[in-house]
Amino acid sequence: MTRNGATGLLVAVGFLLACGGPGPAGSATGGPRRIVTLAPNLTEIVFALGAGDRLVGVSEYSDHPDAARAIPRVGGLEVDPEKVAALRPDLVLAIAEGNAQGTVRALEAAGLPVTVTPSGSLDSVLESIRIVAGRLGRPEEGQRLVAGLERRRAAVHARVAGRRRPRALLMVWPDPPQAAGGHTFLNDILTEAGADNLVGDRQGWPVLSKEYVATAPVELLVTPDSVEARSAWEAAFSAGSLSRGPISLARRVRLDEAALTRPGPRVFDMLEKLAEATQ
Amino acid sequence: MKALGRGPALAAGALLLAAVLAAAFSVGGVHLSLFDLVRGDGEAGQTARMLAALRLPRVLLAALVGACLALAGAALQALLKNPLADPFLLGTSGGAAVGAAGAALLGASPLASPAFAFAGATAASLGVAALARRGGRLDLERLLLAGLIANAFFSALLLAAFSLASGEASRTMLFWMMGSLSDATPGKVAALSPYVLAGLVVLLGAAARLNLFAVGEESAAALGVDTERTKRVVFLAASLLTGAAVAFAGVIGFVGLLVPHGVRAVAGNDQRALLPLSALAGAALLVAADAVSRAALAPAELPIGAITAALGAPLFAWLLLRTP
């Protein structure tokens, strides 16, 4: 191809991009109409706010509710910015912890409106719902949803108040053993459900030594349950890091992995289930 | 030998290793009471014995892996007469890690990964040697350059494998890239021991010839040393030791570079002393580094490679600056 030919092609593409197709507008009817979510919890929040039909792209693991499964995928932890841009979204929702900063910046640089939601606590789950509701132009739905979740949360607090708090670990992976530490929403779930997190003074997601796991005075062990990880957990219980010491005798509570580990509305279901188990 | 004779130096090295082993066994994120271990009954004794069963294989594995890496480094430095030579710089570790990681990615049994690591280490060594061969002889400068290229290539392969792997497999990739001793078992210790012994015996057998290399290859040849054969034997022994270490502990850097330097500074450049002393000192270094890795961030662990790098890199920079 000659240089002139190449230039001509670029101009033509630019023209098509500028004029072609229905533009990313549509705000006249109140809020964005073409939404892309970069994490499954954001997909769940959008559906919970009754705006699932406005999603044009979702992250790889967005499988809840069932209607989310049919929406085009834009990548897992590593999002493909070009795929996102090709969907011509008028709102991109990303999470602060988990989505690569580079991806978010690339999307912003391409002129896409990106909203990043906070993570790291149960409060930030509620805050994320408020933020998303605001961006969707549905603040009242957001307030209603948050108020309902807050009521359930307060009921759990009242229920566990004054109870003896079991010493607990919430493990996210068996080998190497990794647990939820402080400043995570799972730490909030564990402690608000009436248990004491043995590694609550560690920030983030500490990978624990086998010696610690074998000797920690665990009374309650919370583990995420999923088909994919079941064999890894069973191996750890039968011969691995969870097969010896107090942890092997601790009461074990299995909670659905997707519902537990995605900071969306369903984590409040998990909070209630866990509060039952700490009794 | 400078201050000490070879015998006393080796005895001192063995004593140092024994002291470090004992100290490391009693150090950790969780307190292990020796009294409970020996005399304790009931729960305290049970806990102590369980801890010992976890910690002892780990301390021993650290010793064996450290000995492997330091021996391989010492042998390569003597062979290449270059203080920068190291299983990492020559791409041997990278080849071993790619072999093991590839096997994991293809779904091979974890039991088979040592075999793949040896294959990778040997293939890397042979490939690097082939690149460095000129007129039927190994050209030492080309060897270092070829190792550099191979290493860059293996790093890229590992990163590609890491991004291809998902879930559990990517954790395995991390193990190969970062190195770890946390999966130590008595079985692994038993499996690694023969390699350390074999490597040590072969290299000690070549020590006298390696001393002549220091004078110059031509002089060594004139004195009746089959230089090409010696190179091959030492090269393969170093690959075997590196492959064994990587297979059981992933890639742990700087030990092969660091230890022979330290030993040479204290004990001189006689390979008959340097090689066995490097094995002892390498074992002691990695056992100590592992104790720090277990205790520093308890109940979490600090990656062992970060500790060896934190020790190795500044010391190495200092050595480099001191060299005229």
Q: Encoding tokens for residue B245?
A: 């270490």
Residue of A nearest to B28 (CA): A211
Q: How far is B292 from chain A (nearest CA, A)?
A: 13
Of A58-72, A171-185, B110-124, B274-288, which range is least confident? Answer: B110-124
Comparing A30-145 with A164-277, is the CATH topology the same? yes
Q: Tell whether the model's pLDDT for residue A193 goes beyond 90.
A: yes
Across the interface, do B299 and A245 touch by the CB < 8 Å criterion?
no
Chain B residues inside the 8 Å CB shell of A176 = 171, 182
CA nearest A43: which of A107, A97, A119, A94? A94
Helix (H/G/I), strand (E/B), else coil: B31 = coil
- Sign, CA dihedral B140-B141-B144-B149, equals negative
Chain A residues inside the 8 Å CB shell of B30 = 209, 211-212, 214-215
The whole-number pLDDT of residue A4 equals 43
Of the candidates B30, B168, B171, which has its C-beta nearest A211's C-beta? B30
Residue of B nearest to A179 (CA): B300
Q: How far is CA B48 from CA A190, A211, B199, in A?
A: 30, 11, 35
Of the candidates B50, B167, B299, which has its C-beta nearest A199's C-beta? B299
DSSP state for residue A79 in the 8-state scheme? B
Residue at token pair 């209603």: A144
Tell me the per-residue pLDDT of B173-201, one tens digit each, with 9 for 90 and over.
777 778 889 888 898 899 889 989 999 99
Of the candidates B51, B168, B299, which has its C-beta nearest A232's C-beta? B168
Mean pLDDT (chain B) is: 85
Q: Are A216 and A246 in contact (CB under 8 A)?
A: yes
Tell me the per-residue pLDDT of A106-148, one tens digit each, with 9 for 90 and over.
888 888 999 999 989 999 999 999 999 999 999 999 999 999 9
Is B6-87+170-230+238-322 a CATH 1.10.3470.10 domain?
yes
Q: Are A167 and A198 in contact (CB under 8 A)?
A: yes
Its ipTM equals 0.73
Bigger pLDDT: B138 or B274?
Answer: B274
Give the distance, in angstroms, between the CA of residue B306 and the centroid of all CA atoms in the same chain: 15
Query: How many alpha carbons fall within 13 Å on the CB side of residue B44?
Result: 10
Q: How far is A192 from chain B (nearest CA, A)?
A: 23
CB count, 10 Å around CB of A109? Answer: 9
In CATH, the number for domain A164-277 is 3.40.50.1980
Of the candidates B54, B163, B171, which has its C-beta nearest A214's C-beta? B54
Give the distance, in angstroms, between the CA of residue A232 and the centroid of all CA atoms in the same chain: 22
CA nearest B242: which of B110, B125, B111? B125
Chain B residues inside the 8 Å CB shell of A247 = none
Residue of B nearest to A205 (CA): B300
Is A30-145 a CATH 3.20.20.10 domain?
no
Residues 6 or more apart in contact with residue B130 via CB below 8 angstroms: none
Q: Encoding tokens for residue A92?
A: 């991109």
The whole-number pLDDT of residue A3 equals 41
Across the interface, do A206 and B300 touch by the CB < 8 Å criterion?
yes
The whole-number pLDDT of residue A9 equals 42
Chain B residues inside the 8 Å CB shell of A244 = 50
Determine which of B43, B168, B175, B302 to mutate to test the interface with A (most A C-beta atoms within 10 Å): B168
The pTM for the full model equals 0.79
DSSP states along B262-306: HHHHHH-S-HHHHHHHHHHHHHHHHHHHHHHHHHTTTTB---HHH
Q: What residue spans define the domains of chain A?
A: 30-145, 164-277
CA nearest A253: which of A215, A224, A232? A224
Q: Are A211 and A183 in contact (CB under 8 A)?
A: no
Give the residue-averaged pLDDT of B211-215.
84
CA nearest A53: which of A74, A71, A79? A71
The whole-number pLDDT of residue B167 equals 62
The dihedral over CA atoms of B201, B203, B208, B210, expressed in degrees to the nearest 10, equals 180
List residues in chain B touching A: CB distance below 8 A.
28-30, 47, 50-51, 54-55, 163, 167-168, 171, 182, 294, 298-301
Chain B residues inside the 8 Å CB shell of A245 = 47, 50
